[in-house]
Amino acid sequence: MLKKAIDCAKYAVAVGCIAAAGLSGPAWAEPSGTLKWGAAFEPQGWNPQVQPNTTFTQLVYEGLLQMAPDGVTLQPGLAREWTVTPTDITFKLREGVTFHDGTPFNADAVIANIKNVQAASNRWRETIAGIEDVVKVDDHTVRFDLNTPSPALLYTLSQRGLSFASPKALEDGTWQTSPVGTGPYIFNEADTVSGSNYVFDYFDGYYAPEDVGPKRVEIFYLPDSASRYNALLAGQVDAADGDPTQMATAESMGFANHLWSTLRYHLIMFDRAGALGDVRVRKAVCMAMPLEHINAARYEGLLNFPSQRFDEGDPAHVPGLKAYEYDIEGAKALLAEAGNPDVKLEFPSPDFMRVISELAKESFVNAGLETEIVMMPTPEYFQSFYSGRYPFIINTMTAENGGMFNYYPFRFAADGAANTFKVEPPARLEELYQQALVAPEAEQPALLQEMTQIIHDEALDCGYFDTVGVVHYNTGTISEIATTHWEPSALRYKDVRLAQ
């Protein structure tokens, strides 16, 4: 069963509950030493709402809630506890917290940040659309009044787009270029070389110094895995965002490998009314997805192949659901049944996914689907997700996480941010979603599982594979590595413990 904290995140709008827990991370006498990390990304400005991951933002910013290392359990962040009813959520805020510029964190800061997200032109605005108003109860208590049932809202409040910046920085417009949060580290712009290495120093005013390991964090932007490994070998970094194919080499040189589940990739069918409008074509694409080939060529056999978006323990999980099996002849037969339609599939790929994309293209072509890859730089690739140009991609979107109450409205609802072709969802799917929003907790699983079954039967999404993150690290300088399941590319920097 899922832990109570996540139960509150998913069901509290219907049943009412209170949640509170201790912060994660081993206690530490005081921050000390420097952690040097080789990362695959560089920051695209400092607005946390437009970053593809938490590689940089988690150092500086925090939100009301935070995700535990298991990637499932919600824990207190800037809110120390929360109470949920069908119509509102009340947060008791942590006291004695200040932003890096000395501005106090309080109810007014929460209101300013929620208003900032509500005014944004990105998907995070949609994820908090259920908030009608934020009411200041007192300096350290705020109440979110809801205009609609919002069972995914607590999960959303733990995500990077709901990280809080100083109200002063929001007001003067500097927050997107000079980050000012409540996090354990301050951005050291003077020591930073843009495009090369980014430096962060411990914030002496941080409210929980016992939770912080490194006193300084230096992140080196090294875009390819070979350059990151070479930096580790040369002692330029203590740890690096690694690659499964380099694990054996790293071990042979005396380095350690840390693995964790990072993303649930899959075929994301966008054009479900045009090129992929026929369910037989979609099923053919699913059956032609060469998962085992990708596993062998790119991931050293480490991949897991779930049959659906959510795992056992999630109320939307359908026990015994069988994934589409790899079957080129079966895919050809389905296409023939559909009249061998003249389907042209084009999908984007960054270089770090080249092997995956080329294997998929080869397999789709073998099944009789004309397919082309559009290679592009990583930043452009992430921006292409919502372009409405491509009928499908092979990737994932973290906004799908957190349960069906996030997944469905984001991916399939008529106005969903990731429904880039604005395809009307199957009527029964929308009906089930609306029923589940207001259903008592005990009745929700049956409704959500029927939704999962329809998504599978209609091949709206398929070809799931859980990617594996690897950290290669020097045990001479690092005694403990920390990551978060379902969070790619970044360490939990303050929870890393340096060797003494």
- The label of the residue with tokens 């209609």 reads 458
pLDDT of 2: 31
- Nearest of 26, 69, 56 to residue 483 by alpha carbon: 69
What is the C-alpha to C-alpha distance for residues 47 and 51, in angstroms, rounded to an integer? 7
- Label residue 24 by pLDDT band (50, 70, 90): very low
Confidence of residue 28 (pLDDT cuts 50, 70, 90): low
- Mean pLDDT computed over every residue of the chain: 92
Phi then psi dihedrals of residue 482, to 5 deg: -135, 130
Q: What is the model's pLDDT at position 489?
A: 79
- Tell me: the pLDDT tens digits for 94-104? 999 999 999 99
pLDDT digits (tens, 9 = 90+) for 218-243: 999 999 999 999 999 999 999 999 99
CATH (one of 2.60.200.20, 3.30.1330.60, 3.20.20.70, 3.10.105.10) for 263-466: 3.10.105.10
CATH class of the domain at 4-209+474-498: alpha beta
Give pLDDT tens digits for 130-179.
Answer: 999 999 999 999 999 999 999 999 999 999 999 999 999 999 999 999 99
Task: Give the mean pLDDT of 187-203.
Answer: 97
The two three-digit tokens of residue 61, written as one number: 């910013």
In 318-382, the DSSP E strands lie at 344-349, 370-375
Angle at 66 between CA 147 and CA 479, to 5 degrees: 170
What CA–CA distance (Å, rounded) separates 167 from 200? Answer: 21
Among residues 284, 316, 476, 498, the alpha carbon closest in space to that of 392 is found at 284
Q: What is the mean pLDDT of residues 414-420?
A: 90
- Tell me the per-residue pLDDT of 43-97, one tens digit each, with 9 for 90 and over: 988 999 988 889 999 999 999 999 999 998 999 999 999 999 989 999 999 999 9
Structure tokens at 471: 């950290």
308 contacts 324 by C-beta, under 8 angstroms: no
* pLDDT surpasses 90 at 417: no
Write down the pLDDT at residue 144: 98
Domain ranges across the chain: 4-209+474-498, 263-466
Segment 340-350 mean pLDDT: 94
pLDDT at 22 over 80: no
Per-residue pLDDT band for 378 (boundaries 50, 70, 90) equals confident
Question: How large a percentage of the chain has pLDDT more than 70?
Answer: 94
pLDDT score for 12 = 32
Give, in degrees to the nearest 5, the angle at Cα 78 between 239 and 114: 105
Cβ atoms of 79 and 107 within 8 Å: the answer is: no
Per residue in 307-337, pLDDT (tens digit) is 999 999 999 999 999 999 999 999 999 999 9
pLDDT at residue 8, as a whole number: 38
Q: Which residues contact 273 (CB under 8 A, 6 or more apart)?
A: 421, 423, 424
* Mean pLDDT calculated for residue range 445-466: 97
Per-residue burial over 53-73, b if 16 or more Cβ lie within 10 Å, else e, is bbbbbbbbbbbbbbbbbeebb
Spatial contact of 59 and 492, defined as CB atoms under 8 Å apart: no
pLDDT of residue 52: 82
Dihedral sign for Cα atoms in the order 126, 150, 9, 24: positive
CB 499 within 8 A of CB 477: yes
Is the four-CA dihedral 26, 30, 31, 33 of positive or negative sign? Answer: negative
Q: Above 60 in pLDDT, residue 213? A: yes
CA distance 43 to 64: 23
Q: Give the pLDDT confidence score for residue 287 in this predicted structure.
A: 98
DSSP 297-324: HHSTT--B--SSSS-TTSTT--TTPPPP
Torsion sign (Cα): 48, 172, 63, 110: negative
